[in-house]
Homo-oligomer: A and B are copies of this chain.
Amino acid sequence: MPAAVPLKSQGRSAAHRSFERLCGLVAGDLEEVNRTIVDRLQSPVELIPQLAGRLVASGGKRLRPILTLATARMCGYEGARHVRLAACVELIHTATLLHDDVVDDSALRRGAATANAVWGNKPSVLVGDFLFSRSFQLMVEDGSLEVLRILSDASAAIARGEVDQLLISNDVSTGAGAYMDVIRAKTATLFAAASEIGAVVSGRPAAEQTALRTYGMGLGTAFQLVDDVLDYSARQADLGKTVGDDFRDGKITLPIVLAIERGDDEERAFWRRALESEDRRDGDLEHAMTLLARRDALGAAMAETHRHGDEARRAMEAFPAGAYRDALLDLVDFCVEREF
């Protein structure tokens, strides 16, 4: 049941309501996750809880820990380990956010007050390392080598994907396949790991573990693609949000890859100048949006998004109906249709 028209506003509120339902289901567990994180970030070195707390309390959607909590509950888990493991997932995510905000000397961008803008690069890096290590300490306390395997694999994939993304930035010859590889590694893998852990902690059979991994992979991929599309969405502009950050950063995302593939020589010359040569001029963003519309690149990217959303939904067929499964299915709609 993917929405026929992407990004329309009735869709938003319905999807938003179902996300709130999911949040309601795991609210108690999520509070425990928050407590665990705050607890584990106590340190005589004040900068650590300060810097980390800023991110943890920043009002993110907490999708990744919610995935661990909800999949564990769906699998009938009744213990308390899933809380600690959801905290591990969130700590890794927070560490990658901190590290992602570290900028190259050569390319200080964006005006937003990221942690590194406030404290400098080095504290962001080191506190990120601390969160990352804390996450592994927590996993060791939990004692499951399987979870350690899943999350160390995910961490390596994220780092690999981020390096890869750096290398394709400004490269207009990037193909859709290469781009999809990057977002699978840097974004979808942690969604997959977070979901898979729900089956592992519940001692469910391998088939269910795989199903949850597939679900998370589809969901995470769709999530990232929507992110990419939203950056060029007129609806975003209506909502008073910034449009074109990715463009201003010279970022190659799926809509751009598709517009370049479908464009003529003149269009390709434009993309090359604006993204590869970093020679961006007044009116370029508007022209980029015109070309994206002309080649239906946002529509095609949304079609790809729906394909991954459908994959996530299909993976859920391995589980019997119930409140958690329904909520996890609704979460796919939410991720696909969200406008923020």
- Give the B-binding residues of A (Cβ under 8 A): 43, 45, 47-48, 96, 99, 102-108, 116, 120-123, 125-130, 132-134, 136-137, 139-140, 143, 145, 148-149, 152-153, 155-156, 158-160, 162-164, 166-167
Q: Which residues of B contact A139 (CB under 8 A)?
A: 148, 152
Q: Choose among B121, B123, B140, B166 the residue that contacts A163 (Cβ–Cβ < 8 A).
A: B123
> Complex: how many Å from CA A71 to CA B108?
46
Q: Which residues of B contact A128 (CB under 8 A)?
A: 125
Q: Which residues of B contact A140 (CB under 8 A)?
A: 145, 148-149, 152
Q: Choose among B47, B120, B125, B159 the residue that contacts A130 (Cβ–Cβ < 8 A).
A: B159
- Tell me which of A99, A107, A121, A123 has the highest count of chain B C-beta atoms within 10 A of its own C-beta: A121
Q: Report yes or no: A163 in contact with B45, Cβ–Cβ below 8 A.
A: yes
The residue in chain B whose Cβ has the minimal distance to the Cβ of A143 is B145
> Complex: how many Å from CA A98 to CA B243?
34
Q: Which residues of B contact A166 (CB under 8 A)?
A: 47, 122-123, 126
The answer to whether A148 and B121 touch (CB under 8 A), given A126-B163, A163-B126, is: no
> Complex: how many Å from CA A136 to CA B149?
8
**How far is the CB of A3 from the nearest CB of chain B, in Å?**
35
- Tell me which of A107, A123, A156 has the highest count of chain B C-beta atoms within 10 A of its own C-beta: A156
Q: Report yes or no: A148 in contact with B136, Cβ–Cβ below 8 A.
A: yes
> Complex: how many Å from CA A48 to CA B102?
18
Q: Report yes or no: A155 in contact with B167, Cβ–Cβ below 8 A.
A: no
Q: List 9 A-B contacts (CB under 8 A).
A: A45-B167, A47-B163, A104-B121, A105-B121, A125-B128, A132-B132, A136-B136, A139-B152, A140-B145
Q: Report yes or no: B129 in contact with A99, Cβ–Cβ below 8 A.
A: yes
> Complex: how many Å from CA A130 to CA B125?
13
Q: Report yes or no: A156 in contact with B130, Cβ–Cβ below 8 A.
A: yes
Q: Which residues of B contact A163 (CB under 8 A)?
A: 45, 47-48, 123, 126-127, 130
Q: Choose among B120, B127, B129, B134 the residue that contacts A132 (Cβ–Cβ < 8 A).
A: B129
Q: Choose among B43, B45, B102, B155 the residue that contacts A102 (Cβ–Cβ < 8 A).
A: B102
> Complex: how many Å from CA A199 to CA B301?
55
Q: Which residues of B contact A104 (CB under 8 A)?
A: 120-122
**How far is the CB of A35 from the nearest CB of chain B, in Å?**
19
> Complex: how many Å from CA A143 to CA B105?
40
> Complex: how many Å from CA A197 to CA B190?
30
Q: Report yes or no: B136 in contact with A155, Cβ–Cβ below 8 A.
A: yes
Q: Report yes or no: A156 in contact with B127, Cβ–Cβ below 8 A.
A: no
Sample of 15 further A-B pairs with CB below 8 A, known A122-B166, A133-B155: A47-B166, A47-B167, A96-B129, A103-B121, A103-B122, A104-B122, A105-B116, A129-B158, A130-B160, A132-B132, A132-B159, A133-B156, A134-B156, A137-B152, A148-B148
Q: Which residues of B contact A148 (CB under 8 A)?
A: 136, 139-140, 148
> Complex: how many Å from CA A109 to CA B225?
39
